Every structure is written in structure tokens, then in C-alpha cells.
Structure 1
Amino acid sequence: MPLSDPGRRELLHLRDIQLRGWQREDGLFDIEAHLLDRKAYDFENDDRGVMKAGEPLHGMWIRLTIRDDMEIVACEASSDHTPYALCPGAAPNFARLAGLRIGPGFNRAVNERVGGVLGCTHLREVLAQMATVAFQTLYPIRARKEREEAARIAAAGGTPPQRKPALLGTCIAYAPDSPVTLARWPWLRSA
């Protein structure tokens, strides 16, 4: 369903962000983002002179290589287009994210390693979205492993642990009492 009619307006700024999750042959996963900013009008830039409408102001790439436990093995960033000549100097600092785990406290940890003058605002902002893509990319793989482990425990005569689902309470569909939640995790009815 589209949004309501906004009325007459003029486009000023375009930001396109592409996010992709990949499984690699070596068992690791790549989460990649490409950010592209453009203006819909000509303007003067201190470093680049006259910027024509549609010309990229920002054109940046970032890749997180992660394990299935969400630990970052490597991070690589690059900038094709920046408003200032010195901006690409921030890209190598993003390698400092190696060793972080995507999960609670991730954004804070990112800011500790590449916040402020150590990094780039645009690349830091897209990292939060990349964390979500990492969860979406790995969810079926991690869920399969949990099911296999539960089946192995049950086959050995044990009772698989019933951990509180990480998704519980994160949105309307996963409210503790929603029909989606209760159908997916029926054991929560008695918890």
C-alpha cells in the first residue's frame, strides 16, 4: 500500500543504500553496503568545485566479514566519492571493528572504535543497518543449527533447553501474547 499523496513538492536529496548478505565458500559471511548520496540541483563544493545535479556527493562501500556466531572477522571500507579529499582517510580505520560481535552494545562498541574523528558518519550510520542484515542473513542458518542440536539432545533422551527467543518483544508480531509468537513458541503459553 503506497503512502498518501504528499502534494506538490521538489526533490532535493537522494540517498540510496544497498545492503546484501552473502555466504562464502569458506563458511564465513559477507555483509556489504553501498551508500550513494546525490543532490537534485547544482551546488558549489569547497573541494570539488561545482557539483552537477545527480553527481555523487558520497559513494561509499563497506563490508563486514563475519562468522555464524556474529563475530566480525574483518571489515573493509572504501570511498569512491566524498565531499572532501581527506574523507577516504577514514576508511582504513574500519578494520578496527574486527573482533566485535554483532549484538547488544554493537553501536556503542562501533563508536568506541571508529567514532568521531576516527571514522566517517555515513559509514557508521550504515553499520547499524548492516547488523540487521547480518541477523536476517544468518537467521535460517542459526535456526537450523538450533533445531539440529535440539533433535540431537532429544534423540539422546534429553530435554532440549527452551531459551527465551531473541525476537520476543521486538515488534508487534513478536509481542509475548501475539498469535505469531504463541504459534511459533507454544511453550511460552505456560512460561
Structure 2
Amino acid sequence: MPLSPPAAREKQHTRTVTVEGYRRDDGLFDIEGRLVDTKTYGFPNQDRGRIEAGEPLHGMELRLTIDGDMLIHAAEAVTDYGPFAICRDINPAFHRLAGLRIGPGFRKQVREAFGGVHGCTHLVELLLGPMATTAFQTLYAERERQGRSGAAPAPGERPRIIDTCHALASDSPVVQRQWPEWYTGD
């Protein structure tokens, strides 16, 4: 079902986010994200002279190389377009993601290491939003084959996925059907 018809309007900005997950021949996985911001109008920019309509204001990529346990083995950031010449100077800092594990506590660790002046707002947003969830989606089938999807916890252990969204609320029909012992509804 589409959104309701909008009021009369004029488009100003487009943000395109693309994230893809790959299985590598060496058994690791690459999660690659790209964020591009464009405007529908040109405007002056002190560092770049002028940014024309449709030319990226932001154009950034981030690659994480992870293993089946969601441990980051390597990270690489690239800024092709930024509003300031200095934007790309922070890219090497993202190598410090190596050694972190995507899972509980990951958001806090990333915010502590790359928040504010220690990172790039757009790369951190890309990482913590669609890239982290794409990592889970990319590894889901592999982890399911190994019995490690997170959907099947140890006997007697409450699945961590419960209460992570509306559909998986402890009182939802989904939880009632899949994990009746953890269902809290009527």
C-alpha cells in the first residue's frame, strides 16, 4: 500500500543508502555501505566552489570484513564527496573498528570511539543503521545452518529477538506462535 497522496511540494534533497553483503572465498564476509546526498539545486560551497544540482554533497563508502561470529576483522572508509576538504581526513580512523563485534554493546562502543569530533556523522549513521542490520541479514542463513541464528536459544533461555520490534513484542501473535513459553499476552 503506498503512502497517502502528498500536499503540493518541491523536492529538495535525496539521500540514497545502499548496503550489500557478500560471502568471500576465504570464509569471511564483506558488508559494503554507500551513502550519497544530492540536492535539486546548485549552491556555493567554500571548499568546493559550487555544488551543482544532482552532484553529491556527501558520497561515502564503508566496508566491514566480518566473520561468522560478527567480529570485525577489517574496516575501510572512503569519502569521495564531502562539504569540506577536511572530511576525508577522518577515514583512516575507521580502521579501529577491527576487533569490535556487531552485537550487544556495539552501538555504545562505536559512539564512544567515533562520536563527535572523533568520527564522521554520516559514516557512523551508515554503520549503526543499515550496515549492522545488513550484517545480520547476510549471515542469517549461515548462522541458521550452524544453529546459531539467535532465533533458537539454548533450552530454557529467552530468545534475544523478543521485544526488539512491534511484531516480536512478547504479547504478539508471532511470539505466541513461535515461542509460546515466552508469550505474555492474554
1:61-96, CA deviations, whole angstroms, 9 ceiling, x for partnerless residues?
001111111111111000111111111111110000
The answer on 1:84 being equivalent to 2:74 is: no
Partner of 1:43: 43
Corresponding letter in the other structure for 1:167: I
Partner of 2:135: 134
Compute the RMSD of aligned alpha carbons: 1.9
Q: Distance in 2 between matches of 1:187 and 1:23?
A: 35
- Partner SS for 2:99: coil
Partner of 2:15: 15
Q: How does 1:6-155 map to 2 (within 5 A)?
A: 6-129=6-129, 130-146=131-147
Q: Give ranges in structure 1 of 5+ residues lacking alignment.
A: 148-159
Asked if structure 2 preserves the Cα contact closer than 8 Å seen for 1:96 and 1:114, the reply is no
Q: Distance in 2 between matches of 1:184 and 1:144?
A: 18
Corresponding letter in the other structure for 1:144: R
Moved over 3 A (4+): 186-190
Asked if structure 2 preserves the Cα contact closer than 8 Å seen for 1:58 and 1:81, the reply is yes
Asked if structure 2 preserves the Cα contact closer than 8 Å seen for 1:60 and 1:123, the reply is yes
Normalised by the length of structure 2, the TM-score is: 0.89
- Percent identity, please: 55
Q: Distance in 2 between matches of 1:170 and 1:10?
A: 36
Q: Distance in 1 between matches of 2:42 and 2:9?
A: 18
Partner of 1:167: 161
Asked if structure 1 preserves the Cα contact closer than 8 Å seen for 2:172 and 2:183, the reply is no
Evaluate the alpha carbon distance shift between residue 79 and residue 99 of structure 1 in structure 2; reply closer, same or farther with a 3 A threshold: same
1:103-138, CA deviations, whole angstroms, 9 ceiling, x for partnerless residues?
122122112222222211100111112111111111
* Structure with greater proportional helix content: 1
Corresponding letter in the other structure for 1:185: W
Which 10-residue stretch deviates more, 46-55 or 109-118?
Answer: 109-118
Normalised by the length of structure 1, the TM-score is: 0.86
Partner of 1:152: none
